[in-house]
Amino acid sequence: MRVLVVDNYDSFVYNLVQYLGQLGVDCDVRRNDEIPVAEVGRLNPAGVLLSPGPGTPQRAGICLDVIREYAGRLPIFGVCLGHQAIGAAYGATVNRAPELLHGKTSQVHHAGAGVLAGLPDPFTATRYHSLAVVEDTLPDEIEVTGRTESGIVMAMRHRTLPVEGVQFHPESVLTQGGHLMLANWLATCGYPQARERAPELVAEVEARRLAAFAA
């Protein structure tokens, strides 16, 4: 199975690609200004991942148009800037975050919805962002599925379409359950086998995560 990864000129994108590969899928990585929106349909991916990156959603190449054009036609998963692009595409405000965290961890509280299914509540997530989606500006069709202890939106999804985003970085070694999150998304793309591979991979990263905190 192959998914499209829209690269928003970010150094983390190939960490995501590595995680996806470990889960058993191939990735077609394209820069956000490399292909027109119509090319996404011609590539016929099983799903589209919108990567992290610098700047604002409005400066993220084709991301906003991909969401508007393919929501409901292809499963879409946004990470960091990709998550913010989902909010912006549905009319939400993306502003400076109340707390600016780069390479820091936070506890995310959730009820196990969407890509967060099977994760502990709360779980530790790694954050690299200066902007955040303003929850009060989200439309009814978007539900918040994860928040920090201070109430900042960390995860959200469309109530009826396979469109979901996380503000933190699943691919960071300091994030709990990153492989499981991606496996949950891949299951919506038609590849439930990823969930069978996830536990061993999660355990390997968890051992490294605990070692990092103990150092």
The residues annotated as belonging to the active site are 80, 169, 171
Cα 88 to Cα 56: distance, rounded to the nearest angstrom? 10
Can you tell me the distance from the alpha carbon of 36 to that of 53, in angstroms, rounded to the nearest whole number? 19
Contact assessment for residue 82 and residue 51, using Cβ atoms and an 8 Å cutoff: yes
Q: Which of 128, 5, 18, 14 is nearest to 63 (CA)?
A: 5
Residue type, 45: P
- Using CA atoms, how far residue 135 sits from 21, 25, 132, in Å, is 33, 33, 9
Q: Three-state DSSP class for 76? A: strand
Locate 132 and state its tokens: 């955040």
Per-residue burial over 65-80, b = 16 or more CB atoms within 10 Å of its CB, e = otherwise: bbbebbbeebbbbbbb
